[in-house]
């Protein structure tokens, strides 16, 4: 029966028409994925396109077809296109058709995963158990989905801080008079979000010791031990060491076994930033490089990178749930939960992290793991490492190009040889991006500006490497001629 009073429902009056429009929208996204290789990777946003999104708040409606058309013409072509096989600029995943469909199902359900006794939470707990087993954590382990590893690393620092200062620091604050100031350690190659986490945690970035690295870009273990000894002698309290499983710059893997040994000996919390590399556990060829990750007290990882789950899908795992509850739970709330009804099932995710309202990130992750299987996902990761080795080999055929860092995993840092190489290589990268041929990025390795190619996407193949190398060579020669009049 159509309602006679003013209809405030957001559902359509004509479901048939909506279904047809929905099919067209879905088809457009299947087309996008199926034909993505034919598109430019990226194209600069024209000023009028940008201007189109400076409109006043819409008081009245436009038809769905019209909003869809605007999305297809004004938004989609100007995305950063990390789903494209020649997007190699940053460590970003490619997504997948299965992940997209699962995300649609989750949005339709509109579940809020903060808590309550609901089956979507069992899907999330399924993944917690899978991660616990994958990383050989004990049965006491707990975890939850978060936006990304920036948040998971922040939470790792917070749990470590609460462990060091005691749960009453949540009441008293982090700088009790007379207490020794806390200090933490991470390799100089650690992700910038670790520094940010120290800042947000109120400990200050100066309390993070940047440990020098060895010639393989791994944390230098000797230096770590020396820094800890010096800090203790100065009356400070070392409380945390962060190891990185795959650095964002060069893909270096810290020696997690040795770091764990020092952490145990010095009673430090051992957190691993596995944003890039942790899921390499799914590949028999990569897993041995991660040895020692099973000794971590807490772990950050991203399903949206190597795991190819659509954004966002970060994950935080803790060895002992008690530490996570002590840090995040509000005891008055969680101890007062019900035995029956929707209020049962404590502890809830809201007791294990910051967020109360949470989306159903677990669903797209569950679909991805189930529908591709972890053998294939592991093979994708191994394939990206093989691509990096192939690129390293093929670089040798280009006398103008040189390798700038060891290739430990899936990242290749290289550059065009030239006078004024730092400036020229930065321009080559912008030229490549604007050409639409490929998107590498610029980074700094041992003081040199270099071109970085990070292979993460499951769609990338060897032919993409040749296109990237050819284009780099051509643009390098053109740039260099303009800059210095010779190739140096
Ligand atoms: C990507 C990355 C991060 C940050 O993770 P987000 O998911 O982008 O928040 C942290 N550490 C490393 C090593 C990374 O590669």
DSSP string, 266-277: HT-EEEEEETTT
How many Å apart are CA 255 and CA 200, to the nearest integer? Answer: 27
Has residue 253 been placed in a domain? yes
- Give the global pTM: 0.96
432 near 475, Cβ under 8 Å?
yes
Condensed to tens digits (0 to 9), the pLDDT of residues 324-358 reads: 999 999 888 877 888 899 989 899 999 999 999 99
Reference 315, options 268, 367, 352; nearest CA is: 352
pLDDT-based confidence at 488, cuts 50/70/90? very low
Ligand 1 center from residue 193 Cα (angstroms)? 7
Has residue 369 been placed in a domain? no
How many Å apart are CA 389 and CA 273, to the nearest integer? Answer: 24
Mean pLDDT along residues 408-436: 96
Condensed to tens digits (0 to 9), the pLDDT of residues 207-238 reads: 999 999 999 999 999 999 999 999 999 999 99
Report the domain count for the chain.
2
Mean of per-residue pLDDT scores for the chain: 95
pLDDT at 64 over 70: yes
CA distances, 80 to each of 45, 53, 102, 103, 438 (Å): 10, 17, 22, 20, 11
pLDDT-based confidence at 3, cuts 50/70/90? low
Percent over 90 (pLDDT), the chain: 90
For residue 263, give both structure tokens. Answer: 């952490």
Beta pairing class for 401-403 and 237-244: unpaired
pLDDT at 178 over 90: no
* Domain harbouring 27, CATH code: 3.90.1150.170
Condensed to tens digits (0 to 9), the pLDDT of residues 281-296 reads: 999 999 999 999 999 9
Reference 255, options 284, 226, 213; nearest CA is: 213
Percent over 70 (pLDDT), the chain: 98
Shared-domain flag, residues 72 and 135 = no
Shared-domain flag, residues 348 and 397 = no
Domain span including residue 208: 112-329+341-359
- Ligand 1 is surrounded, with C-beta below 6 A, by 91, 148-150, 191, 193, 244, 246-248, 273, 275-276, 302, 314
E strand or H helix that includes residue 150: helix 149-165
Shared-domain flag, residues 355 and 387 = no
Mean pLDDT along residues 160-189: 92
Has residue 2 been placed in a domain? no
Rounded to 5 degrees, φ, ψ at 54 are -120, 40
Predicted local distance difference test score (pLDDT) of residue 481? 81
pLDDT-based confidence at 272, cuts 50/70/90? very high
Predicted local distance difference test score (pLDDT) of residue 154? 98
User: Residue 29: left (phi > 0), alpha (psi -120 to 50), or beta?
Assistant: alpha
Has residue 371 been placed in a domain? no
How many Å apart are CA 448 and CA 107, to the nearest integer? Answer: 45
Predicted local distance difference test score (pLDDT) of residue 4? 60
Has residue 123 been placed in a domain? yes
Beta pairing class for 298-302 and 314-318: antiparallel
Shared-domain flag, residues 239 and 180 = yes
How many Å apart are CA 312 and CA 301, to the nearest integer? Answer: 12
Has residue 13 been placed in a domain? no
Shared-domain flag, residues 217 and 290 = yes
How many Å apart are CA 446 and CA 288, to the nearest integer? Answer: 27
Q: Considering only residues 383 and 171, tell me which one the structure prediction assigns the higher pLDDT.
A: 383
For residue 468, give both structure tokens. Answer: 């990237």
pLDDT-based confidence at 2, cuts 50/70/90? low
Ligand 1 center from residue 276 Cα (angstroms)? 7
End-to-end distance of the chain based on CA atoms, in angstroms? Answer: 79
Ligand 1 center from residue 145 Cα (angstroms)? 14
Ligand 1 center from residue 485 Cα (angstroms)? 40
Mutate to test the pocket of ligand 1, among 90, 156, 193 (most ligand atoms within 8 A of CB): 193
Nearest atom in ligand 1 to 312's CA: 7
For residue 385, give both structure tokens. Answer: 């490492």
Shared-domain flag, residues 262 and 291 = yes
pLDDT-based confidence at 1, cuts 50/70/90? low
Q: Considering only residues 179 and 357, tell me which one the structure prediction assigns the higher pLDDT.
A: 357
């Amino acid at each position: 029966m159509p309602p006679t009073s003013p209809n405030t429902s957001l559902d359509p009056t004509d479901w048939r028409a909506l279904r047809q429009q929905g099919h067209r929208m879905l088809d457009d996204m299947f087309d996008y994925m199926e034909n993505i290789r034919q598109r430019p990777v990226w194209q600069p946003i024209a000023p009028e396109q940008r201007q189109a999104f400076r409109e006043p708040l819409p008081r009245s409606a436009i038809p769905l077809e019209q909003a869809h058309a605007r999305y297809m013409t004004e938004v989609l072509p100007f995305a950063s296109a990390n789903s494209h096989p020649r997007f190699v600029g940053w460590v970003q995943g490619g997504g997948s058709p299965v992940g997209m469909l699962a995300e649609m199902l989750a949005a339709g359900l509109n579940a809020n995963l903060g808590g309550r006794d609901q089956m979507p939470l069992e899907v999330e707990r399924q993944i917690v158990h899978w991660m616990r087993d994958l990383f050989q954590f004990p049965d006491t382990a707990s975890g939850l989905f978060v936006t990304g590893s920036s948040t998971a690393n922040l939470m790792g620092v917070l749990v470590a801080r609460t462990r060091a200062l005691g749960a009453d620091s949540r009441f008293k604050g982090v700088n009790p008079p007379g207490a020794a100031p806390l200090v933490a350690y991470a390799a100089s190659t650690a992700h910038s979000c670790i520094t940010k986490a120290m800042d947000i945690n109120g400990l200050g970035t100066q309390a993070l010791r940047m440990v020098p690295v060895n010639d393989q870009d791994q944390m230098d273990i000797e230096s770590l031990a020396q820094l800890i000894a010096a800090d203790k002698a100065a009356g400070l309290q070392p409380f945390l060491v962060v190891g990185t499983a795959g650095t964002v710059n060069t893909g270096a893997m810290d020696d997690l076994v040795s770091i764990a040994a020092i952490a145990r000996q010095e009673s430090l919390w051992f957190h691993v930033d596995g944003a890039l590399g942790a899921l390499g556990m799914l590949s028999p060829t990569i897993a041995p490089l991660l040895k020692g990750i099973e000794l971590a007290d807490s772990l950050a990882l991203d399903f949206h990178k190597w795991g190819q789950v659509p954004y966002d899908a970060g994950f935080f795992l803790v060895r002992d749930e008690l530490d996570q509850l002590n840090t995040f739970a509000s005891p008055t709330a969680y101890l007062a939960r019900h035995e029956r009804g929707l209020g049962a099932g404590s502890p809830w995710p809201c007791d294990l992290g910051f967020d109360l309202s949470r989306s159903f990130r677990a669903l797209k992750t569950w679909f991805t793991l189930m529908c591709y299987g972890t053998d294939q996902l592991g093979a994708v990761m191994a394939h990206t490492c093989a691509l990096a080795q192939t690129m390293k080999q093929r670089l040798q055929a280009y006398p103008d190009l040189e390798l700038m860092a060891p290739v430990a995993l899936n990242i290749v840092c290289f550059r065009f040889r030239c006078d004024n190489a730092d400036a020229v290589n930065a321009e080559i990268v912008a030229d490549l991006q604007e050409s639409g041929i490929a998107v590498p990025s610029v980074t700094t390795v041992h003081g040199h500006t270099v071109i970085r190619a990070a292979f993460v996407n499951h769609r990338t193949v060897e032919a993409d490497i040749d296109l990237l190398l050819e284009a780099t060579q051509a643009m390098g020669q053109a740039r260099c001629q303009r800059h210095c009049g010779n190739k140096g």
